[in-house]
Structure 1
Amino acid sequence: MTDVQTDPFADIRPYQDNEVQAAILRLIADQEFIDAIIHYRFPHLAGSFGWMLSPVVKFFLKRKWAKLNSVAKVQLQVAAFMEQMIAKSTTEVSCSGIEHLDPKQAYLFISNHRDIAMDPALVNWSLHQQGFATVRIAIGDNLLRKACATELMKLNKSFIVKRGAKGPREMLKNLSQLSAYIKHSLEEGQSIWIAQKEGRAKDGNDETDPAILKMFYMEGKKRGEPFSAYLANLKIVPVCLSYEFDPCDKDKVHELWHKQQHGNYQKGEFEDIDTIIKGIVGFKGRVHVAFGKPLSSIPDDADTLAAQIDQQIWQGYRLFPINYLAAGSTEQQPDSKTQELWQTRLNSVSPEAQVLLTKMYAAPVEKQHKLT
C-alpha cells in the first residue's frame, strides 16, 4: 500500500482502484466480519451452527465479489443494495433542489445529521439517480474500531476524520490534513459529504458548528487566501434530510435522558454497529433529500456563514403529519393512523423521556417557524 511519505493522505483517504481487490480479500479473511454477517443474516443459527455457515458465507462472498476491481464497481454494488433497502424500509424517497447543481462541478455538501450511515447513503442515492457522481464521505474514526469497518468504509469512498488526538499539536496536525484533503478532493473533481457538526443531532436541533467551517479554512489560511474567497471556491451546498420516522429515536432519547440524569453516557462495545444496522433496516416511512443552492456570497466570518447554512437546511425540511402532531400545531390535522403511530412511539419510552421524543419530532416545525 502507498505510504504517507509519497501520499500525504494515505492514512485517511478512501481506497483507489488498485487497492480494491486486496481490501476485499482482507474482508473475506476477517472472521469477525464473517461472524457479523452470520449474526445479522442468520440470527437463529449463528450460535450453534455458525462454524458450519462460516465457510459457506466466505465462498459466497468470493464468488459475488470476484469481479469487483474498481471503486466504480463497488459503488454499483452499493446502489443495488440501496435499491433493495429503500424498497423494504421506506414508503417513498423524494428529492428536491438538484436542478440547482451542475453534474460537472464538485461540491462540498454540508448536511444535517440524523443517521450514521443513511444520511450520506441517501444523498449518494439521490445524486446517482440523477446521473451525478457519488460523493466522498467524511466518517469519524470512533466508528472504525473494528478493522472490517475500516475496510468497508474505505471501499465505499469514505475518508477518516481523526477525533482521538492526544494533545493540541496532534489535533492541529489532524485538522490541517483533513482540510487539505477536502480541498484536494474538490480539485480532483470529487464532491464531499460532511455533517454540519460532530455527531448526530439526537434532539433534532440541526445547527452548523462554526468550528467545521474554520477547519475548512485551515488550508486556505496556509495558502494565504481570505476566508470568504477560499470558502466560496469550495462550492458549499447545504443539504437537509427529513425522515418521517427515525428507527433510532428510542435509542437517542434513552441516551439524552441518561445524560440528563447522570451527566454522561457510556456506549456499549457494539452500540455504534447496532445503531448503523438499525438505521439501515429500520422503517423510515417517507424520506426527503433537499439540496440547497450553492452558496455564492460568503461572509467574512464562520458564525455568519453557519447561520446562512442553517437557514437553507431549515427551509429544506419536509414536514410530515407526525412533526405537526409533536409540535402541537394546528397547521395540519393528523389522521387517526398518525395519532396511533405517535402514541405507540411515545409509549415505547419512559414517561420522563417522552418530552425529549416530542422535542425531537417537533424541532423541524419550530425551526421553520423561526425563519418566518
Structure 2
Amino acid sequence: MFADIRPFQDAEVKTVLKTTLNDPALAKAMGSWLAPSLNKKAPWILHPLIRMVLKVYLGSVIDVAGFQQKLGPLVSRLLKKSVAEFSVHGLERLDNQKAYLFVSNHRDIVMDPVMLNAALHQKGFQTARVAVGDNLLNQPFSANLMRLNKSFIVKRGIRGMKARLKAAQELSRYIHFSILEETASIWIAQREGRSKDGYDRTNPAVIGMFSLSKPILRTYSDYINELNIVPVAISYELDPLDLAKARELYALDTKGDYIKHKNEDLNAIARGMTGWKGRVHLEFGDVLQGKFDQDDEVAEQIDRQIHQLYQSFPTNAWAEACLNNEVAEIANANVATLKNRVELARPELRPYILKQYANGLRMRRGEAPL
C-alpha cells in the first residue's frame, strides 16, 4: 500500500541501502560537496574513498531507526556549526503518544524539517514523516536516502489533470493513513516552494489536498479535525540564502520570470545546511480544532497562529529601520553580518534582502507585506 510514495520500511532498508551506497552518482555528488577540486582532478581516488567511508559508517544499519540514529550525530554537528542557539517551545502542550500533522512555514528546503525532527527527538517524540517534492529527487540515490529517512514523495511533475488529481488523492489517503492507522506524525510545508519574501502564507490548495480522500458521508470539519493539525513557526535570525532569494524576486519583478540554473536546488540545499543562521527558534502552536466549511478558513487559522508564533530577532528590526530610512542599530554580530551582506549586494537587490527580514515583523503585527 502506497509503495511508490511512502518511506521505506524496515524490511527494505538493507537492500535499498546497499544499492544506494554502490551508486556512483552518490560518490560523485558527495565529492562535489566535500572536495570539489579533488572531485574534478582525481575522482578515481576520491570516489572509492567516499564509498568506503559510507559503507563503514552505515554498513551495520538494518532498519529505519538505525539509519536515523546514524544521522543524529551528523545533524548535531551541523547545528553546532551553523546555529548559534536552537530553541524550542510549545511541544510541552502536545502528547508524545499521539500523531500530528505539523504544518510549518517554509524558509529552507532541508533544514526546516531537519530542525523540526531534531526538536521532536530532543523532547521524546517520534520523528515525523516528511513530505518532499519529487522535483528534488532527480537522482535515484537522493530519492532512496530521503525515503530511508522517513520522507514520502509529493508528485509534482505529473502531467494531465486526471493524473494529478489521482496523485493528490493518494497523497491525501496516505496522510490520513499515517496519522490515524499508524500513529505516525507528518510534516508538510504550508505551501509549495519556500517563502521568498519572508511573509508566510498557507496555500489553501494544500489544505484542499488533505480532504480529497474524504468519504461522502463524512463532514469536512470532522475529516480536517481528526488530522490534529499543529501550525509551527520556524524563525531564523539569518537566512543563508537571502541573497539568492533576492535575485529570484528581482528577476520576477523586472522580467516576469525566473529560470533556475542547473543544480540550483542542490546548491541551495548545501548552502542552507551549512550556512550560518545565527539563532533559530521553533514554536509549536495549538492543535487546530473547530467548525470549518472550506479550505480558506483552515488556511487562515494556520496563518494566524504562525504569524503570532514567529519570533523576531534584531536582524528583523534592523532591516525595517533601514527600509524606513531610520537609524538602524547594530545590535549584535549577526546584524553586522547582515549589514555587510546588504552592502556587498548590487544596489537593486538590497531592498529585496531587507524586505525578507522586515516582513517577519509586519506579519506579526498583522500588516501587509512590503
TM-score (norm 1): 0.94
2:297 aligned residue: 304
Q: Give matches, 1:141-180, under 5 Å.
A: 141-180=134-173
Does residue 78 of the first structure (1) align with residue 71 of the second (2)? yes
Q: Which moved more, 1:239-248 or 1:250-259?
A: 250-259
Query: Structure 1 159/278 Cα, relative in aligned 2: closer, same or farther at 3 Å?
Result: same
Q: CA deviation at 1:317?
A: 1.1
Supply the AA of the counterpart residue of 1:123.
L
Say whether the 8 Å CA contact 2:330–2:336 is kept in structure 1.
no
Q: CA deviation at 1:281?
A: 0.6
| Aligned counterparts of 1:180 and 1:214: Cα–Cα separation in 2 | 12
1:351 aligned residue: 347
2:186 aligned residue: 192
Q: CA deviation at 1:285?
A: 0.6
Provide runs of 4+ in structure 1 moved above 4 Å: 329-334, 336-339
| Aligned counterparts of 1:194 and 1:119: Cα–Cα separation in 2 | 10
Q: CA deviation at 1:49?
A: 1.7
Q: CA deviation at 1:27?
A: 1.4
Q: CA deviation at 1:357?
A: 1.0
Q: Which moved more, 1:257-266 or 1:329-338?
A: 329-338
Does residue 325 of the first structure (1) align with residue 318 of the second (2)? yes
Say whether the 8 Å CA contact 1:100–1:294 is kept in structure 2.
no
Q: CA deviation at 1:338?
A: 5.1
1:4 aligned residue: none
Supply the AA of the counterpart residue of 1:261.
T
Q: CA deviation at 1:161?
A: 0.5
| Aligned counterparts of 1:256 and 1:112: Cα–Cα separation in 2 | 18
| Aligned counterparts of 1:337 and 1:274: Cα–Cα separation in 2 | 26
| Aligned counterparts of 2:119 and 2:344: Cα–Cα separation in 1 | 32
Supply the AA of the counterpart residue of 2:28.
D
Q: Which moved more, 1:211-220 or 1:52-61?
A: 52-61
Q: Give matches, 1:1-372, under 5 Å.
A: 7=1, 9-187=2-180, 188-220=182-214, 222-328=215-321, 334-335=330-331, 337=333, 339-370=335-366
Say whether the 8 Å CA contact 1:321–1:332 is kept in structure 2.
no
Q: CA deviation at 1:99?
A: 1.0
Supply the AA of the counterpart residue of 2:71.
V
Supply the AA of the counterpart residue of 1:327.
E
Q: Which moved more, 1:186-195 or 1:301-310?
A: 301-310
* CA distances 1:235-258 after superposition (whole Å, capped 9, x unpaired): 000000000000111111111111
| Aligned counterparts of 2:236 and 2:344: Cα–Cα separation in 1 | 19
| Aligned counterparts of 2:91 and 2:328: Cα–Cα separation in 1 | 27
Query: Structure 1 10/44 Cα, relative in aligned 2: closer, same or farther at 3 Å?
Result: same
Identity %: 41
Q: CA deviation at 1:332?
A: 9.6
* CA distances 1:142-166 after superposition (whole Å, capped 9, x unpaired): 1111111111111111101011221
1:3 aligned residue: none
| Aligned counterparts of 1:339 and 1:290: Cα–Cα separation in 2 | 22
Q: CA deviation at 1:323?
A: 0.2
Say whether the 8 Å CA contact 1:16–1:70 is kept in structure 2.
yes
State the SS of the aligned residue for 2:213. Answer: helix
| Aligned counterparts of 1:252 and 1:83: Cα–Cα separation in 2 | 27
Q: CA deviation at 1:50?
A: 1.5
Provide structure 1 residue ranges, at least 5 long, that are not aligned to the other structure: 1-6
Say whether the 8 Å CA contact 1:95–1:126 is kept in structure 2.
yes
Provide structure 2 residue ranges, at least 5 long, that are not aligned to the other structure: none
Query: Structure 1 157/331 Cα, relative in aligned 2: closer, same or farther at 3 Å?
Result: farther
Say whether the 8 Å CA contact 1:217–1:231 is kept in structure 2.
yes
Supply the AA of the counterpart residue of 1:165.
I
Supply the AA of the counterpart residue of 2:7.
P
| Aligned counterparts of 2:295 and 2:307: Cα–Cα separation in 1 | 18
Query: Structure 1 331/242 Cα, relative in aligned 2: closer, same or farther at 3 Å?
Result: farther
Q: CA deviation at 1:52?
A: 1.2
| Aligned counterparts of 1:314 and 1:332: Cα–Cα separation in 2 | 24
| Aligned counterparts of 1:340 and 1:120: Cα–Cα separation in 2 | 28
Q: CA deviation at 1:358?
A: 1.1
| Aligned counterparts of 2:332 and 2:198: Cα–Cα separation in 1 | 25
TM-score (norm 2): 0.95
Say whether the 8 Å CA contact 1:112–1:196 is kept in structure 2.
yes
